Amino acid sequence: MPLTYTVFDLDETLYPTSAGLMQDVARRITRWLEHHLGMDPEEASRLREVYIHRYGTTLGGLLAERAREVDVEDYLAFVHDVPVEAYLRPDPALRAMLTAIPLRRVVFTNSTAEHAARVLNALGIADLFERVVDIRALNFIHKPRREAYERLLTLLDTPGPACILIDDRAVNLQPAKQLGMTTVLVNGQPQDGVDFVVSSVLEVGPLVHALLKPFSTDERG
């Protein structure tokens, strides 16, 4: 099956953890839990950790266990209200790498389309993605739930084996692997469900070219 799509996670995949952006989002999540659930900071951070461990994201835990107490849109607006442009700068090397990938490029994120647009604009790469599949497009069913990946494939109208998924969390790659996608972990250890590990997203370009090579050789006969 020929490869058609590169599907990129957004946060801490297209830019490094060291940028500090997600640490700020994490602080806003803890603050939201404090204000809305009447918790002290320690309780709020503990609940965040429990939810991430149990459901993959804090919002996933809130929707599973406290749906009646949560205004999802209020939560998403509050936690993403961070100065994205203060953390990220245009990245010409990233832009060059993405431009050279001869496949369709999409973003697949548990965050919102608004946050994704800010991040992609700050990195100077917004025009290189034909589509952002965000948490609303996923009907609030987030990675790593299998239904999120099935929804992605439906929205893209493509089978799993035509996709390469790039994410910084191994747990987010495992369902993709089960659906036949090629999986690339940015910054991590080789493990089940992970086909390739790269230490920087900049290595994804050369990897994609290497994966495509057998096809072009065959075509030339």
Contact footprint for Mg ion (CB under 5 A): 9, 11-13, 168
Q: Tokens 């697949």 label which residue?
A: 108
Nearest approach in angstroms of CB 84 to Mg ion is 15
When the beta carbons of 197 and 212 are compared against Mg ion, the nearer one is: 197
When the beta carbons of 32 and 167 are compared against Mg ion, the nearer one is: 167
Nearest approach in angstroms of CB 157 to Mg ion is 25
When the beta carbons of 24 and 168 are compared against Mg ion, the nearer one is: 168
> Which of these, 18, 15, 40, lies nearest to 30 by C-alpha position?
40
When the beta carbons of 142 and 162 are compared against Mg ion, the nearer one is: 142
Alpha-carbon gap, residue 156 to 133, rounded angstroms: 9
Alpha-carbon gap, residue 204 to 199, rounded angstroms: 9
Helical axes 72-79 vs 58-65, angle rounded to 10°: 160
Nearest approach in angstroms of CB 60 to Mg ion is 14
Nearest approach in angstroms of CB 39 to Mg ion is 25
Q: Three-class SS of residue 203?
A: helix
Q: Tokens 């429990």 label which residue?
A: 50
For residue 81, the Cα-to-chain-centroid distance in whole angstroms is 18
When the beta carbons of 13 and 182 are compared against Mg ion, the nearer one is: 13
For residue 205, the Cα-to-chain-centroid distance in whole angstroms is 17
Nearest approach in angstroms of CB 180 to Mg ion is 22
Q: Tokens 């991040």 label which residue?
A: 119
The tokens for 219 are 């075509």
Nearest approach in angstroms of CB 43 to Mg ion is 26
Strands (E), the chain: 5-8, 104-108, 131-133, 163-167, 182-186, 196-198
When the beta carbons of 53 and 68 are compared against Mg ion, the nearer one is: 53
